Structure 1
């Protein structure tokens, strides 16, 4: 029986090899015999195809048979050739001629609107129709990528050369996948084979492959077929040509104002069908340039779908210039039409054909469904978009999870290997490698092997990477991690990383040693002591904690028990980072960190009940004592300048210090996101930012029980939301209001403190923090309201200059307000430049009280919504 299976396998391999050794190959050239890179070769009768490589070479493996092949290149006339494949490869070299575009002179009349607009109105009107035209499709995807470093800062070039990085060896990859689409929003990709060397640095074009230009946005950029397109683009008719019985219109797409997330280039629209024939568009995202070329073909003469994609990504980051190139071909299409939209629709532009539009409107009066549309065959562009939108709404309501906007999953075949040999890839690869790519593959492979050999021979690197080192003499000082058993780990955090300075403790550090263990069910336990030492007070403060994370990923919870003696900022918001305070104190003799000491025990539990609702509760019993300054040390002399007291000034009370007392405090808070939308990626939900407002509620009670000296009640409610409006403007709003319902016995740490800032450095979140507000001056034990309004403009003042927008820079304007009985309507008005060098923001702020100017300042911070950097 074993021999029978072996013989069967041998025969199967032999037949496969025979099939792979026949087909067509050759070279695609331009009029001057220059190679045409990435020309599309589409075999129409089997709905499959490939592209030429950068040198114009192509090769298609085909089983014996007859084939109808079309050769296409944007801007050139197509070439249709019929092949009969027998055995071996038939060589067919061809020269494509530049496309000659004709003008419909009858449509171009003096004083009239450019004919591109009626074409685009019809295409936009039918875009959502095309987006819903298919119930499902399957396709095979081949993707090839390469990337290289074009330039680097001069002071790093020698070091980079030592690492073996040059313009041929940065990154290269190939993959073969099976793609399945199910309407309305589900994509599943099965990776059959993959080869990858180097790092793509997050530039992979996967999101573009599953995005559609028929949708209003393409990876957050405004599509030329968006209903809002006319607010962003000018369109110019540049002629037409005939191909395969179709009239193809060439439309130039020009931004009304250049900048991020806006396309520029050419789109070709199939006349009467108003579908995409091909496109060559460029967009910028945070100053990085993306060029996208797509070629579509009619699949089974029913729907036009993309058969080839080309992506070129160019950019610069802190002196590093880079380029990434990706090529993707989709073949072996199998499609299933949506029966509801299998309707031959004629679109009428009511702005041009007013009489025909009026007649159609009369016929279709009262009709609201696509079933009724099928009786008439004609519809105005506005009514078509309205009907399809209503159709989409009805379908979404019928879905089990209508809040899931997209569902993308990528699975790897269990037989997939990263180590497939060259014979395998030769059989799978539809696009021949160039001599340049072959050299790059060879060099990267040799570098990886050398690095692997170095890693195996260097026990220091192995231990460091695997974090299972043996104990070393310096570990208690420099930190380390040791594996204990199968699931446990002992961690020593380096005290050198915690050294700081403040006026109460002088120089200080804390020492954290903890043990962590992850269980089979995903729960995690962590516990250990934390020792804090103050040199100025000559005092050691110990505390310990136990932290337990539990539950499923979607309903995760965390419980923490903590007890001991420690110091804490007067504001539980911890408004100033100890490192920043250390720098200000030692260099400028300014210390803003205000501390008190407590002996305490605290129990806290935080639970996410579902994606929309989470709650947090805590109870703490503490013996609290006020502290005074113990050090006036600084690096430099500052004559006449003294540190401020540890008890800050406050407009509401003259005394912010307090006697030693007991405090039993209960706190509970909740967060609710009622209309949350998601993207699904590999079965995991990913929340869509700005898809819902977030409501918050907090209640804090100082309880006069068990000898506790506090007695107060605080209620706080809030809402925050982010949304887009106008031409690419983003508005963020947060409002909180609260009141002490009872303040019979309250100490300064229990006041409501606000997120102030008195340093040059702005906090990470620009929508929830004041820029110039004193940390404690307006803290209150009465009623209050805070409001933060932050708007990011695509085009305002300096961004009127196109080159500034092309650098990815945006402008912010914001207003922050604090209302308390003693704050005098404190208001901040600010202006900022965002995404400077893609990372930083610079702000100028003026503060007012009761409308009167009070203060001015400049702040430097991290760019707003920094995560946008990785939303490619």
Structure 2
């Protein structure tokens, strides 16, 4: 290994001796090294940066070049250099930038001049995002990461996984990227060199994203049309960069927290394009610092030539940092001739009212073409520019085959991308490695030998599966049966309820692929259940056939089911509530059944779910009064018969047969998509969800039920400007026919009487009894949930930085017996990024009834909606 590494180094030295180019060191005028300074070669549209020690290295063929040296806060230097056969050394000292205030006086009561600069830049943002039909470039990305600390209790586990504290992990990649307007991106990875298991750690969201878009990586851009609601801007002066005047704008969030930027934005005057950025943002308590430097490609479009990202985080005892460096070179661009206009002058009608009025007087409302509009003069108001570009995008969207597709991203990797050796990387790497990075790569090469041995069968580090062991019956495990089949034993589960006493639930699974062409998979899952107090066994078996187009389930057996088929109370919560608090909320019955269920997507926007079940349904009674804590003030367990306010009595369920069929339709008519590698991925919350359900109790095959139940509803989630986010779920239904039905056929609602809530925050009640308000009549249910960005606790910036959010919610239920049941609540969300704590009060006909405190999972990680709810 050491010999091969030495040979690689010698070969790289030979190659570097033969190759030509430019190398050197960049320092500040105080003598310090300027790490990550940008070097741009104008003739070939290439960019690179120095490493953290200020060293750079560019391979160039012999010739004359104009080299541009840039660093935020320092004067740009342009030098003409002649490159011969070998390397030319060029050391550069950069001077601190001289920023001067323009002849603009900020008088009392007048706005900061930054606002007119930003109004023009925002007005032109859409134009900049559309001015290129196509561009391509080569991207070099280097990422380094370091785990600085972790909980000492996990030390052995971390060592077992080969994760070392303070070691520098490094990865490099070279890719060719292409962008074609309006939304198509292609990336071809040419080579990858990594000592980490994840080779997809590049910050492509920012590299492929654009600050000209309203949002970038779910963060509001300072060039968004709604930026003035999110940010304050302050003019800090103007400096000269070559022949360009560049304004320095300080960007400050009006409300600090996640998903906003803070820092410096540099705008090229007259062009009103981005010159560079120096921003910080946070997400889930992780801090991201970023710097981007742009260059005028072919003197027509300012595009980024270097990116730098620094990530710092402290999460649950883990402290880590990561650094990413990306350079873009070999730009090729094609202008959008329909929009590109040179020397366009944007008029701010707010400050230049007379001039704007004169310019607009020449503007024909029918002239929606920018080129034609410019024939009357190069001056255009912000309003005109926005109108023309908006109309252009509207007409273009009509011409697109799939206007609902927001982005189309394709990634492919060269078949030998992971096989390039050290010699190759030493020749192509545009940024010299530091000593720590070289040390990390020595470790990589030693690990690579082990990985290669694994691939050819060496088992010194790779343990084959041990096969079945007796303790697997307790711990669970999975086994490979054949190439397409597997068998697994699940870890046993169980709990306690007053009907069964303690119970044991045991599952095994067998899965196999039936067809390779469409990946049709068969899964067989037998489930065994034993009730110790009843001394009875139950069981069922499920046959599941599924592929990308449909899912068919056929299930049958004898099993236990809650009266509310959607599991009104989570069994583990009921176990705790019963044993420790003497509150047995779960009400169950037994069914001997056969059920078939088909789920199919008609289109990505429309799907249906059809179910038919025949069952013998039997009542069950309590058989155990065991409890761990005996509450003296509680008389004992309640019966297993639910209480109905509608019938004003406990429900006694006689044994009966039931044949029930239902069909559910779901529609997302305005759904938007992203395409990744040819696969359409729906964008959450891009469309409201409309739903319709029809359930029929069928009087046939000895069935004792005969009813018709319909329900319709809508749910959606969307941002309301800068203030917050609104979620709502509304539903209404009725029993058109109730000639014969039993309590399990009633409409039940998502109630809760325990301290812990496991239901979605939207569409569930916090204090509602599980069955008191169940109905076989008409009903309406509504849930509205509003999340504030800034309210009471979140008025403190520190709370927002910790990810705290505040919510208010209203839940309403109308049934013949509910007395306009209403809940009003308030919650603090995102505590430790995981939990939410709620306080709610209940009212009937406007009169106070009850209150309670609930603890649940934070809304950002809880399941908000399910398409099959």
Residue pair 2:835, 2:857 contacting (<8 A) in 1 also = yes
Kept in 1, the 8 Å contact 2:673–2:683? The answer is yes
**Would the aligned equivalents of 1:19 and 1:61 in 2 still touch at CA under 8 Å?**
no
CA contact (8 A) 1:317 1:837 kept: no
Q: 2:563 aligns with which of 565, 570, 573?
A: 570
* Structure 1 counterpart SS, 2:603: coil
Measured in 2, the distance between the counterparts of 1:292 and 1:868 equals: 32
Distance 1:448 1:646 in 2: 63
Q: 2:516 aligned with 1:520, yes or no?
A: yes
Q: Give the deviation of 1:587 after TM superposition.
A: 2.4
Counterpart in the other structure of 1:222? 220
Which position in structure 2 is the counterpart of 1:186? 184
Distance in 1 (CA, whole Å) between partners of 2:176 and 2:107 is 49
2: distance between equivalents of 1:20 and 1:192? 23
Deviates more, 1:322-331 or 1:359-368: 359-368
Q: String of CA shifts for 1:232-271, please: whole Å, max 9, x gaps.
A: 1111111111122111111111112211111111111111
Aligned equivalent of 1:80, options 74, 78, 81: 78
Counterparts of 2:584 and 2:662, CA distance in 1: 30
Is 1:249 the equivalent of 2:247?
A: yes
1:261 touches 1:285 (CA, 8 Å); kept in 2? yes
**CA deviation digits over 1:19-46, x for unaligned, max 9?**
9711010111112211111100000111
SS at match of 2:799: helix
For the residues of structure 1 that align with 2:446 and 2:107, how far apart are their CA atoms? Answer: 64
- Indicate the larger mover: 800-809 or 374-383: 374-383
TM-score in terms of structure 2 length: 0.94
Q: Please say which of residues 104-113 and 35-44 is displaced more in the overlay.
A: 104-113
Residues 199 and 825 (structure 1), Cα distance of their counterparts in 2 relative to 1, 3 Å cut? farther
Q: Distance in 2 between matches of 1:525 and 1:693?
A: 33
**Residue in structure 2 matched with residue 306 of structure 1 by the alignment:** 304
For 2:768 and 2:154, how far apart are their aligned partners in 1? 42
Aligned to 1:658: 653
Deviation at 1:445, TM superposition (A): 5.2
Tell me how far 1:608 sits from its aligned partner. Answer: 1.0
The CA deviation string for residues 252-304 of structure 1, in whole angstroms up to 9 with x for no partner, is: 11112211111111111111111111110111122221111100000011100
Number of residues of Structure 1 aligned to a counterpart in Structure 2: 845
- Please identify, of 452-461 and 395-404, the stretch whose mean Cα deviation from structure 2 is larger: 452-461
Q: Which residue of 1 aligns with 2:681?
A: 686
The answer to whether 1:478 aligns with 2:479 is no
State how far apart, in whole Å, the 2-side matches of 1:380 and 1:776 are.
63
> 1:676 and 1:235, CA in 2 relative to 1: closer, same or farther beyond 3 A?
same
Aligned to 2:579: 586
Please give the alpha-carbon distance, in whole angstroms, between the structure 1 residues aligned to 2:440 and 2:16: 30
Q: Aligned-pair distance for 1:789?
A: 0.3
1:108, CA displacement in angstroms?
Answer: 4.5
Q: Show the 5 A alignment for 1:161-560.
A: 165-169=163-167, 171-198=169-196, 204-344=202-342, 345-366=344-365, 367-376=367-376, 377-417=378-418, 419-443=419-443, 446=446, 462-463=463-464, 469-495=466-492, 498-518=493-513, 519-521=515-517, 522-550=519-547, 553=548, 556-560=549-553
For residues 458 and 842 of structure 1, the distance between their equivalents in structure 2, rounded to whole angstroms, comes to 50
SS in 2 for 1:117: helix
Q: Deviations over 1:289-340 (max 9, x none)?
A: 1111100000011100000001111122112122111110000000000001
Q: Is the 8 A contact 2:368 2:392 kept in 1?
A: no
- Rounded to whole Å, the distance in 1 between the matches of 2:460 and 2:767 is 52
Q: In the aligned structure 1, how far is the partner of 2:240 from the partner of 2:26?
A: 21
Are the equivalent residues in 2 in contact too, given 1:24–1:91 (CA < 8 A)? yes
What corresponds to 1:24 in structure 2?
22
Give the Å deviation of 1:111: 4.7
CA contact (8 A) 2:70 2:76 kept: yes
1:3 aligns with none
User: Deviation digits for residues 511-544 of structure 1, max 9, x if unmatched?
Assistant: 2233211131200111243221111111111322
SS in structure 2 of the partner of residue 771 of structure 1: coil
Give the unaligned 5+ runs of structure 1: 1-12
Give 1:82 deviation, angstroms: 1.3
Cα offset for 1:637?
3.3
CA 1:570/1:24 → structure 2, altered by over 3 Å: closer, same or farther? same
CA deviation after TM superposition for structure 1 residue 453, in Å = 8.2
Equivalent-residue separation in structure 2 for 1:737 and 1:414 (angstroms): 56
Tell me if 1:846 matches 2:841.
Answer: yes
Aligned to 1:721: 716
Query: Whole-Å Cα distance in 1 between the matches of residues 748 and 263 of structure 2?
Result: 53
Q: Please, which moves more after superposition, 449-458 or 138-147?
A: 449-458
Q: CA deviation at 1:793?
A: 1.0
User: Residue 781 of structure 2 is aligned with which of 780, 786, 789?
Assistant: 786
How many Å apart are 1:171 and its aligned residue? 3.2
C-alpha distance in 1 between matches for 2:611 and 2:754: 32
- Following superposition, the deviation at residue 199 of structure 1 comes to 5.5
Residue 681 to residue 278, structure 1, CA distance change in 2 (3 Å): same
Partner-residue secondary structure (3-state), 2:128: helix
* Residues 45 and 329 in structure 2, CA contact (< 8 A), matched pair in contact too: yes
> 1:728/1:55 Cα in 2 relative to 1: closer, same or farther (>3 Å)?
farther
Equivalent residue of 1:477, what SS?
helix
Contact 1:71 1:80 in 2 (8 A): yes
Distance in structure 2 (CA, Å) of the matches to 1:806 and 1:129: 34
TM-score of the two chains, using structure 1 as the length reference: 0.93
Q: Relative to structure 2, which stretch is displaced further, 630-639 or 780-789? A: 630-639
Deviation at 1:769, TM superposition (A): 1.1
Mapped contact 2:665–2:692 kept (Cα < 8 A): yes
For the Cα contact (< 8 Å) 1:46–1:332, is it kept in 2?
yes
Residue among 31, 50, 53 paired with 2:51: 53
Alignment check: 8 A CA contact 1:286 1:835 kept? no
Q: Which moved more, 1:722-731 or 1:811-820?
A: 722-731
- Which deviates more, 766-775 or 692-701? 766-775
**Maintained 8 Å contact 1:730/1:792:** yes
Query: Contact (CA 8 Å) 1:19, 1:62: kept in 2 or not?
Result: no
Which residue, 726, 750, 753 being the options, matches 2:745?
A: 750
